[in-house]
Every structure is written in C-alpha cells, then in structure tokens.
Structure 1
C-alpha cells in the first residue's frame, strides 16, 4: 500500500516535468501491476520438478535479487555438462532465463506440451521447449 502511494506520488511529480504526462501515468502503474502478477504466478512453481531419465529442475527464489527472481538448478540433458544453475526472472508467460548463450522461457503446460510420451499423461508441467519438460506428480 505504501509502495503504491509512493509510486503514484512520484508519477504525479514527474507529470509536471514532461509534456506527455498522460502516457506516463497510464503506462507506469500497469507495468508494475503486470510485474507483480507475473511473479505471484511463478512463485507457485518453487520446488522440485522431474523429467525423464534423471532430468530434474529445482526452482528456488533468488532472495538477494528481489521478488520475481529465481534460481533454476537444472539437469537438462544426459551429458555431464548439461546441468547447472541459471538465474531466471518472472515474465508475462513464465520465467525467462539464459542458458548456453540462448534465451529461454520456462512456461506452464501439461504432459502433452512437453513433447515426451513418458510425460503425456501428466497434468502439471513446466516446458522449456519441445523435448524438454518437467512435471509434478
């Protein structure tokens, strides 16, 4: 509540400094609300998720980085070097993270969305890409 009041006060003060104040006032609060809803949804994903053949994803909150930031401890392949811990951030459709120089989006889905027949019957899953998914029983 106090944070919202401070944000609104700052926006009112800034509106006198620019010619296009209507645009700023309508966009800034929406961006803040979207960010909060993003991480409130992804906070529910914290914990252990399992894939096939020993693949695993363990999501924890990255407390020092603040709300909406996560640590993704992953074993995402069968090779020894296909594991690690990656920093993620809440995004509109899931958790955005970078791995091996590529941006990925961890998003909610079901077993079918993982593209793996062994997980096809699962209902609560997280998917990185077709062929890489993790589910809860």
Structure 2
C-alpha cells in the first residue's frame, strides 16, 4: 500500500510538472514528449498497483470455519500403549489428521473428514467412523467407567479421563 501511494504521489507530481512544462514545450513543439512521459508513468503505476492488488487478493484469507469435532483435537489414550492424536488438517474446516498406534504392531497417520456421525477415515483393514462414546461402549475392560472416549469399533477405543 505504501508503495502504491508513493507511486501515486510521484505520478501526480510528474503530471503537474508535465502540465507546467506543457505550456513551455508546446511553443517549442515538445508537446508530444511530455504527454508520452505522463502516459508511460500512469501505465507503469497501473501495472504496479494492479499487480499489488492481485498479490494482496491471494494473501487475504477469510475466517476459517471450525470443524464440528475441533473439541476432539489432542491426545486420547487407549490400552497397552495405544493412542490417538487428532490434529486439524491444513485448511481447517472439517478435515483432520489421525495419528494412531492402534494395536501393538500397527500405527499410522490417516486423513479424516467430519461426517454427521463422527470422523471418517480409511486405514488398512477398511473405512471407519470415529465416534464419541464412554469407556463401557469401547468394549475394553481397562476403559470401563470412563466418560470421555472415542471409539473406532468394538474393542478399539481411546479416552481422555
């Protein structure tokens, strides 16, 4: 913006100088040179301002709409060293990344997307929907009695409390 204002002030100054010189040059036949100089400066200024606006348009980002499961972001603990880390995916909204140690031998990071039932993701073995439950609903004795849990399927769950 500062650059655009400086160029605009320069253009205005040149145009004013050109107008003053215009009278003197007109009698000497230099009328076309002064007019061309002003046109060239205005064209260059328009190019700079126009490209600045285009660049600014690419840099402006509107507010990111929170996803429906943003309160699930963070670490959830399972049994025997299993865990689930949920983070927002780049771009926000309804996209999530699920980093999991989902049994003793398998782990990975999976892309998730919000649905009306939970976060849907695919990993080796199929497509699943991570949904909010309590510890009893996980079907895992160690998690029984816990209140704030996420379940992938019967026998696989993660809790915060």
Distance 1:103 1:50, change over 3 A: same
Aligned counterpart in structure 1 of residue 96 of structure 2, from 57, 70, 75: 70
After TM superposition, which residue ranges in structure 1, 4 or more long, deviate above 2 angstroms?
none
Q: 2:85: which partner in 1?
A: 58
Q: Secondary structure at the match of 1:121?
A: coil
Using the TM superposition, name which of 47-56 and 100-109 deviates more: 100-109
- Correspondences of 1:21-100 after superposition (within 5 Å): 39-40=67-68, 42-64=69-91, 66-79=92-105, 82-100=106-124
Q: Secondary structure at the match of 2:152?
A: strand
Q: Flag structure 1 segments of 5+ consecutive residues without an equivalent.
A: 1-35
Select the structure of larger CA radius of gyration. 2
Give the number of the structure with larger relative contact order, counting CA–CA contacts within 8 Å between residues 6 or more apart.
Answer: 1
| Higher strand proportion | 1
1:102 aligns with 2:120: no
TM-score, length-normalised on structure 2? 0.58
Aligned length: 97
CA-based RMSD of the aligned residues comes to: 1.5
TM-score, length-normalised on structure 1? 0.68
